[in-house]
């Protein structure tokens, strides 16, 4: 084992300890996949990341993302938190307009907007779930059929079953059967729109349940918010720019800023705050 620079960052919040924590090993060179997985299980956070040299001159760095239960090809809050840590540690982007992250899902562009970062959502594949599967998932969540407005199977490198429900109060009152969700094998994101919200207040309430990868409820989830945005904007449920809230039921105050630019690219961003900085023996 050797000392490696390490940070723990809170993502999708400007106030420490109100977002989603992320463990980041700033130099994962020489570590095996098994060692990375073991460390991710030990941190017991929703994700732990390892920064590596890029495999080509195009990217600024390469990123591997692990949950306690396995590796992910893409995830949103690890993308923003790892980029924040990389920049804070002295990383110098090759370009002026964006940072390019290399990962299993392919290259991911990250842009700076003042003190905040935003990633370009990867391409989304989506389809309608079968009525039987949707009924089973709704039952595990404690939802009645009339409360579900729409549902889609979403995959942007990370697969989610997305449910749009009638009211934010329905989202906040959910008490899922996590064992049943785990047995069904679905990570589930549930969202509802607020009506007539004032500027600067959330437009969408989101919760994310991921028992199949060892996370009962994720505080704030970039990949889910990205795929929800691509779906809900395309189908006319949400406007081209909005603010999502997540983590309310866990005592967090996650805020996710979502925007679709003129080219149709959806950007997902927010603030990040470093909470721990030091070394880890790995």
Question: In the chain, where are the structural domains located?
Answer: 3-121+270-281, 125-258
Rounded Cα gap, residues 6 and 280, in angstroms: 6
CB count within 10 Å of CB 205 equals: 22
Q: Kind of pairing, strands 159-165 and 20-25?
A: unpaired
We find that the CATH architecture of domain 125-258 is Roll (3.10)
Q: List CB contacts of 61: < 8 A, sequence separation 6 or more.
A: 51, 52, 53, 54, 86, 91, 101, 102
Length of the chain: 282
User: 51 pairs with which residues across the strands?
Assistant: 63
Q: Are 3-121+270-281 and 125-258 equal in CATH topology?
A: yes
* C-alpha separations of 197 from 172, 194, 200, 249 in Å: 17, 6, 8, 20
Its CATH class, for the domain covering 3-121+270-281, is: alpha beta
Just list the catalytic residues: 47
What is the pLDDT tens value at each position of the chain, 282 positions in all? Answer: 999 999 999 999 999 999 999 999 999 999 999 999 999 999 999 899 999 999 989 999 999 999 988 999 999 999 999 999 999 999 999 999 999 999 999 999 999 988 899 999 999 999 999 999 999 999 999 999 899 999 999 999 889 999 999 999 999 999 999 999 999 999 999 999 999 777 779 999 999 999 998 889 999 999 999 999 999 999 999 999 999 999 999 999 999 999 999 999 999 999 999 999 999 999
């Amino acid at each position: 084992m050797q000392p490696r620079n390490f940070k723990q960052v809170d993502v999708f919040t400007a106030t420490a300890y109100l977002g989603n924590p992320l463990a980041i090993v700033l130099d994962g060179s020489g570590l095996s996949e098994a060692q990375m997985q073991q460390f991710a299980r030990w941190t017991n956070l929703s994700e732990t990341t390892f920064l590596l040299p890029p495999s080509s001159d195009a990217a600024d760095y390469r990123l591997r993302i692990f949950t306690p239960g396995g590796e992910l090809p893409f995830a949103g809050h690890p993308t923003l938190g790892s980029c924040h840590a990389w920049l804070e540690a002295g990383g110098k982007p090759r370009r002026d307009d964006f940072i390019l992250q290399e990962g299993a899902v392919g290259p991911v562009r990250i842009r700076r907007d003042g003190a905040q970062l935003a990633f370009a959502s990867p391409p989304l594949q989506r389809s309608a779930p079968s009525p039987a599967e949707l009924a089973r998932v709704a039952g595990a969540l404690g939802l009645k059929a009339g409360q579900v407005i729409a549902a889609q199977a979403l995959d942007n490198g990370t697969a989610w079953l997305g449910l749009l429900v009638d009211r934010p109060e329905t989202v906040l009152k959910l008490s899922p059967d996590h064992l049943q969700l785990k047995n069904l094998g679905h990570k589930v994101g549930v969202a509802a729109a607020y009506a007539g919200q004032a500027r600067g207040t959330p437009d969408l309430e989101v919760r994310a349940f991921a028992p199949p990868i060892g996370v009962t409820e994720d505080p704030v989830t970039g990949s889910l918010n990205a795929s929800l945005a691509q779906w809900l904007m395309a189908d006319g449920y949400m406007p081209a720019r909005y603010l999502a809230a997540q983590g309310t039921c866990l005592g967090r105050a996650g805020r996710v800023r979502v925007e679709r630019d003129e080219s149709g690219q959806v950007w997902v961003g927010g603030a990040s705050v470093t909470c721990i900085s030091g070394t880890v023996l790995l």
